[in-house]
Structure 1
Amino acid sequence: MNRYVLVVRRWWAVPLAVTALVLSCGAAGTSEVPVPSLVSGMIGARVAYFTPLLVVGAVMYCLDRRAREPERTAVVPIRRYDAGAVVLTVVLAHAAGLLVGMDVARNVTLLLALALLVRRLANEATAVASGLLFLLLNLILGRTLQPEGHASHTWWAVALHPAGSVTAWLGTAVLFALALRLSESRRAR
């Protein structure tokens, strides 16, 4: 079974993606890319804001690689190995969050939960694309202007909340638990 996890599923790609996340966040620093906004024309978004997609893409790549017949006849439930690998990915992301910022670790968890939910309805490529769409919608529609004229985020734009936001962490944890629970059940195709 260990060979199946390493050779077929290729879960070794996830630690490489987390390493790429840390290196790209370190290389990008505080550099920003322009993003259109409904509030104030063009705004800047840190490049590190988009790096969680590296990890989500790697997880979806690993989940997409499967051998259907051996999985159907396997004594060991493959879905449990997959769920364990996804939880381990979140743990690795939080360990990397100590270096790059806990908001990046939270966004990895959030986008991974969203991808697991979308994967249940569609496929892995759509799941990764939904994460990018969610990030862009947060940037474009999730910012508001305060009465003082300062830009802020709306309540639903969880990816824009600061790292210390308890409500953002709680919402992310609930969504991740729900997505993990649903991903363990049989997929309807």
Structure 2
Amino acid sequence: MNRYVITVRRWWTVPLALVLLVLVSGTVGTSEVPIPSLTGGMASAHVDYFTPVVIVIAVMYSLERRLPSAESTAVVPVHRFDQVAVILTAVLAHGAGLVVGLDVARNITLVLALALLTWRLANEATAAAAGLLFLILNLMLGRAYDGSGHASHRWWALALYPAQSVGAWLVAAALFAVALTVSATKRRGVSS
């Protein structure tokens, strides 16, 4: 089964994606990318704001690779390996978050949860695109200004919350737990 996880599922791509995330964030992560705002004007975002999509693409790539005949006859259900790998991805992302910023780690968890929920309804490519779309919509629609004219964010734009926001962390963790449960039912339904 270990050989299946490594050669067929290729879960080794996720740690490589995390290394890529750290390298990109460390080298060009603070570079600004202009983003049009639907609430007025032109805004910008750091490149490292978009790096969670790299992790989601690697996870969706690994989940997409299957051998249904081998999975249906396996002694250990493969969906359990998938769940452990997704949880390990979130844990490793938080380890990388100590280097690149805990807001990036929270956004990885958030976008990964959204991707797993989308994957339940659609396919892997749509799931990865949904994460990127979520990040872009947060930037385009989620920015606001408070009463004193300082830049702020709308209540629903979780990706824009600062790393210290306990509420954003709790929502991301709850959404991740729900997404794990829902995606496991999809995998069991497909492989059984």
Q: TM-score, normalised by structure 1?
A: 0.97
Distance, in Å, in 1 between the alignment partners of 2:45 and 2:72 is 44
For 1:5, give the aligned amino acid.
V
Identity within the alignment, %? 65
Distance, in Å, in 1 between the alignment partners of 2:40 and 2:126 is 30
Q: 1:186 Cα deviation (Å)?
A: 3.4
Residues 91-138 of structure 1 deviation map (CA, whole Å, 9 limit, x = unaligned): 110000000000000000000000000001000000000001000110
Distance, in Å, in 1 between the alignment partners of 2:28 and 2:104 is 13
Question: For residue 157 of structure 1, what is the aligned residue in structure 2?
Answer: 157
Question: For residue 36 of structure 2, what is the aligned residue in structure 1?
Answer: 36
Question: For residue 170 of structure 1, what is the aligned residue in structure 2?
Answer: 170
Q: Does residue 14 in structure 1 map to residue 14 in structure 2?
A: yes
Question: For residue 134 of structure 1, what is the aligned residue in structure 2?
Answer: 134
Q: 1:40 Cα deviation (Å)?
A: 3.2
Residues 27-52 of structure 1 deviation map (CA, whole Å, 9 limit, x = unaligned): 11421100011233100111000001
Q: TM-score, normalised by structure 2?
A: 0.96
For 1:42, give the aligned amino acid.
M
Distance, in Å, in 2 between the alignment partners of 1:32 and 1:53 is 17
Q: Which 5+ residue runs of structure 2 have no aligned equivalent? A: none
Q: Which 5+ residue runs of structure 1 have no aligned equivalent? A: none
Farther-moved stretch of structure 1 (25-34 vs 100-109): 25-34
For 2:100, give the aligned amino acid.
V
C-alpha RMSD of the superposition: 1.1
